[in-house]
Amino acid sequence: MDGSAPPADQGGSDGSYDTHVSAGLDGLGTLCFGAHSDNETPDMSSLPIATRRAVIFMSRY
């Protein structure tokens, strides 16, 4: 096993709850290790790049 959680236990995007109201965008955060598992951990070294990416995106729209 690779440590992934069974499908019934996997997470979802908060965007899944509001797309009936307006468009949403997901995936602007940090990189992660162990996605959708009990050991999911953000890669904090990717935070500066993720922050710049989000700022550039928001400044254009």
Condensed to tens digits (0 to 9), the pLDDT of residues 28-48 reads 888 989 877 788 899 999 999
Count other C-beta atoms under 10 Å from residue 58's C-beta: 9
pTM of the model: 0.57
CA distance 46 to 58: 18
Structure tokens of 5? 């959680």
Q: How confident is the model at residue 9 (pLDDT cuts 50, 70, 90)?
A: low
Domain boundaries, the chain: 18-60
